Structure 1
Amino acid sequence: MSLQDFCGFYSDLDICSSSPDFIDGSPSHHWKSSSHEGRWVAGISAGGCMNNFGTKKKFKLKRKQHRPGPTLDRFNLLSDETFWTNPQYRVEVGGSDNRGEKNMLVSLMQKPDKRNRGLVQNLFIGFLVFEVSAVFLPPSMIHLMLSNTFHLLLFFKVPKEYKAVKGKFPTAFFGRNMPVARVDGYINAREVMQLMSLKPGEYLIVPSTFNPNKTASFILTVLSKAETRIQ
């Protein structure tokens, strides 16, 4: 196939590899991988996406159709009172602070609950990443910034006081923080991922389904250039 035909018939190119080592183009760089199995349980740990930051004003995060999937109910706009119940993973990123360098890849994969994969209907899934450092914004400012955007993966700076939090971060944590980056919305694909640049520090990853009370299992994988600790 000629290059002209290839460009005319295809819009995306996926390169499959066992690790992102090839991105650096150097055999001296070896990415580290850590995988964790989890589960969203309806009524317990399936809080859905964060379409509301603790006030009554409503805005919507976007669902992105990857391929034909299940018919979902009308968007159920949630408050942070349910979002915080989702599984949470704390990640400590080491290494040097190379600004702009892609140093972490996060992948979220759904685990099929049926033997016949042809019968599996993928949920709309995604994840959010929060930085544990010191910046505060009132909920009204958060709404002003997000009301005209439709994205999923958000990176938030959060108060230093939460560094000492054990267990899940509380509901108030998710309603008062500054988003600093984002990518496209929830996708009904078996796997979603994002390559990102994170400076050394502590982060919180929250995987979720778009709608609440959707029971499903998942695998969260974090690949990084530097050593990371996940709990």
Structure 2
Amino acid sequence: LENNKLYCDPHFPANDRVLFFNGYNNDMVIKWIRPQVYGTEPEMMIDGVTRDDIRQGILGDCWFLSSCAAVSQQERFMKKILPKDQPLCGRGYHGVVCFRFWRFGEWVEVYIDDRLPTVDRKLIYAHCTEPNEFWVALIEKAYAKLRGCYQALEGGQTMDALVDLTGGLAERYMLEDYDPNMFRLILRAHKTGAFIACSRKGDWRESFKNDATGLVSGHAYTITSVIKVSFYYILIKHQMGEEKLLRIRNPWGDEREWKGSWSDNDVNWKWVDKKTKGIMQLQSKDDGEFWMSFKDFYRHFQEVTICLTGPDFDGDGVSDVVGNYFCHMEMIKGEWIKDISAGGSRNNLDLFTTNPQYLLSLYQPDDFNLQTDDPELEGMCSVVIALMQEQKPTREEGQNSHQQIAFVIYEVRIRNPKQRLNKRHFHSHHDSGRSGLYINYREVSGRFELSPGHYIIIPSMFQPHKDGQFLIRVFGEKNFKLTG
């Protein structure tokens, strides 16, 4: 920096161009202010980072903020995202801030200046609960730069944000017909340190109207705790009962909370002992966080996203093991090239055979526990496969640069990665699994229970003859090999 001047980012300047797709604003008189001017003795973080720090602004980026709330619960990830020693005033302060995000297989550094948009000296976008704390406002700005502009954060996929913040693998589950096994999946994920978010369908802008449930439509939340709680009902012959409960947080951090059974002041808490309530950290506050039963959760939420982490899944050389979950990961980059390897869907098998093919070799089954595992899993390998297409920043409203993508898996006898499946094989063999319908998400994934053996993974776009780069990641408990 020349002449001790504070940094001004030439690539993400303090004007309407970085706020809106069209670079034009009719409604607000926006003034960009640095934290040292906005507050007294500003700090990046005060007493560490917690989920309670986060307050959403006028931007509809709850999908990103709920992911930040989830990741903030594990300090080791926040240390990767936010490098230390970045003062916002005083000695060593230069007006520049750095954040790290995981993008397409590697961590990238994003530098911004610390000027933030305000109206009447109030931050208009995400901010911290404490007026002198700024990590939330600044990480949102850095992510907006990565995506193209602030408006590019308006609506998005929670799973994308979780992956960008952790380098893990996110799985999406749609809550349709009631499935009691979903609670076991969420509980196991929580115990192993996975990050969990959930969302409701609808338009969040309509949520300012009165809602009897207290929940916000079209909104993303964070699941911050999962527990089975015992309670004592005097009215039912003094018998003990048990309820499956989830603690959920609204990134708005205000009074808009669940109003039904097991909400903050619900009568059910009368029958839970003080020790259990202490362990659960039960509080009656208008802070956006609340408890609700799993049955009510299933009734009112439509989607759950679980982001798994494992040994160095993010590729930074540091082990990310939490619990005893997935213990091995491999990834490989590839590309679809027009007229060479961009064959599209199975609608045209002659073209489909030109798509890239990758050999997955599973050598031994997962460990099996007769007491806790399902009998049908004995002798099987549990793997999660994910296909990600490269995403580029967008500056156009409504522009979705994602192609419709999917992958399919075939079991084979071959061991030579150079040997390719042909049209005859597709006619005579059923697939062993697939990611689902073609969809224009950045990443699609699937969990599969496969016998030890050899499999071919075929990633493809729905439309043929389109160029694109992709990343395949495979997660498993035992060692395996991915080649192509």
TM-score (norm 2): 0.32
Measure, in 1, the Cα distance between the counterparts of 2:381 and 2:365.
12
Partner of 2:402: 122
- The Cα offsets for residues 14-42 of structure 1, whole Å up to 9 and x where unpaired, read as 1223249xxxxx93444211111111111
Aligned residue in 2 for 1:169 = 421
The 1:125/1:221 distance shift into structure 2, 3 A limit, reads same
Q: In structure 2, how many angstroms separate the alpha carbons of the residues matched to 1:48 and 1:125?
A: 9
What residue identity is the alignment partner of 1:45?
Answer: S
Alpha carbons 1:105, 1:193 under 8 Å: kept = yes
Partner of 1:191: 443
Q: Which moved more, 1:191-200 or 1:162-171?
A: 162-171
Q: Distance in 2 between matches of 1:92 and 1:117?
A: 42
Aligned residue in 1 for 2:328 = 32
SS of the residue aligned with 2:305? coil
The answer on whether the counterparts of 1:46 and 1:214 sit within 8 Å (CA) in structure 2 is: yes
In structure 1, distance between residues paired with 2:394 and 2:424 = 41
Are the aligned partners of 1:105 and 1:196 in contact in 2 as well (CA < 8 Å)? Answer: yes
- After TM superposition, the structure 1 = structure 2 runs for residues 1-231 of structure 1, keeping only pairs within 5 Å, are 1-2=257-258, 3=292, 6-19=297-310, 27-51=323-347, 78=348, 80-96=349-365, 99-100=376-377, 103-112=382-391, 114-116=392-394, 119-132=399-412, 160=413, 162-163=414-415, 166-179=418-431, 181=433, 184-231=436-483
Give the letter aligned to residue 16 of structure 1. C
Query: CA, structure 1 residues 228+115, in 2 after alignment: closer, same or farther (shift >3 Å)?
Result: same
Select the structure that is richer in helix: 2
**In structure 2, distance between residues paired with 1:201 and 1:117:** 46
Q: How many residues are aligned here?
A: 170
Runs (5+) with no aligned partner, structure 1: 21-25, 52-77, 133-159
Distance 1:117 1:93, change over 3 A: farther
Question: Could you state the TM-score of these two structures normalised by the residue count of structure 1?
Answer: 0.64
CA distance in 2, matches of 1:217, 1:181: 23
Q: Distance in 1 between matches of 2:305 and 2:409?
A: 24
C-alpha distance in structure 2 between counterparts of 1:199 and 1:180, whole Å: 10
Q: Percent identity of the aligned residues?
A: 29
Residue of structure 2 in register with 1:58 after alignment:
none
**CA contact under 8 A between 1:102 and 1:195: conserved in structure 2?**
no
1:183 and 1:205, CA in 2 relative to 1: closer, same or farther beyond 3 A?
A: closer
**SS in structure 2 at match of 1:45:** coil
Contact 2:408 2:433 in 1 (8 A): no
Q: CA RMSD in A?
A: 2.7
Q: Which amino acid aligns with 1:184?
A: G
Structure index of larger Rg: 2
Cα–Cα, structure 1 residues 117 and 10, in superposed 2: closer, same or farther, change >3 Å? farther
Paired with 1:165 and 1:15, the residues of 2 have a C-alpha distance of 32
Q: 3-state DSSP class of the match of 1:186?
A: coil
